Amino acid sequence: MNIILLGPPGAGKGTQAKRLEASRGMKQISTGDMLRAEVKAQSPIGLQVKELMEKGHFVPDPIIVQMIENRIAQPDCAGGVILDGFPRTESQAEILDSMLKEQNLKIDAVILLEVEEEALVKRLSERQHEDGSRRADDQPDVVRSRLDVYRKQTAPILPYYEQHGRLKRVDGMQDVELVGKAIDAILDQAAS
Ligand code: AMP
């Protein structure tokens, strides 16, 4: 089963993706995590995207699409994938559909985690890694700009999925466990 997790930065997509990896043998494909790994490794792609990411701007489509295409083709993705952070624009949503069609794959569910904006600014500003370090793009002014980019460029892809009856909404303000239960119910229904 292949799914897309949608929602603004800080909505809990990563947390829920990790849960599904553990419980359903699916693989999380997080474009943000993959890009951060490139930056950390100071690879050619990393050097190209570092500044864009620090400012909360989007990385160009060809880089993202290539990364996704390579990742989905890996054997460990055969049990299904959880797309987290992709697609983020209407053009990426269209590219994804044609990419999957070529590989005889499909998206079984598109789940939107809905969270109030003020709660997101608070959550992200307080977010820390286990080692106490912070993401460069989690400072309040960059968070606001990332939310702005989400509102302008990513929220408009919702009708694309709604049109095809594929979008399911989950209240992301609930307790993590309850959000997980709501997602499980959607996936169980999609599988039946
Ligand atoms: P995330 O961890 O999903 O919040 O992504 C962190 C940053 O990586 C974003 O602010 C963008 O700079 C970049 N990024 C991640 N996914 C994409 C995408 N699908 N398209 C463009 N840029 C992306």
**Can you give the residue ranges of every domain in the chain?**
3-191
| CATH topology assigned to domain 3-191 | Rossmann fold (3.40.50)
Contact 151, 157 (CB under 8 A): no
Catalytic residue among 135, 144, 166, 169: 135
Among 54, 58, 137, 148, which residue has the most ligand 1 atoms within 8 Å of its CB, making it the best to mutate?
A: 58
For the chain, the residue count is: 192
Distance, CA of 177 to CA of 171 (rounded, Å): 12
Write out residues with Cβ below 6 Å of ligand 1. 9, 31-32, 35, 52-53, 56-59, 64, 85-86, 88, 92, 137, 146
pTM over 0.85: yes
The answer to the question of whether 36 is labelled as a binding residue is yes
**How many angstroms separate the CA atoms of 131 and 105, rounded?**
38
Give the separation between CA 158 and CA 74, rounded to whole angstroms. 28
Q: pLDDT by residue (tens digit) across 11-49?
A: 999 999 999 999 999 999 999 999 999 999 999 999 999
Confidence of residue 163 (pLDDT cuts 50, 70, 90): confident
DSSP at 56? T
- Read off the tokens for 88: 């983020």
Rg of the chain over CA atoms, in angstroms? Answer: 16
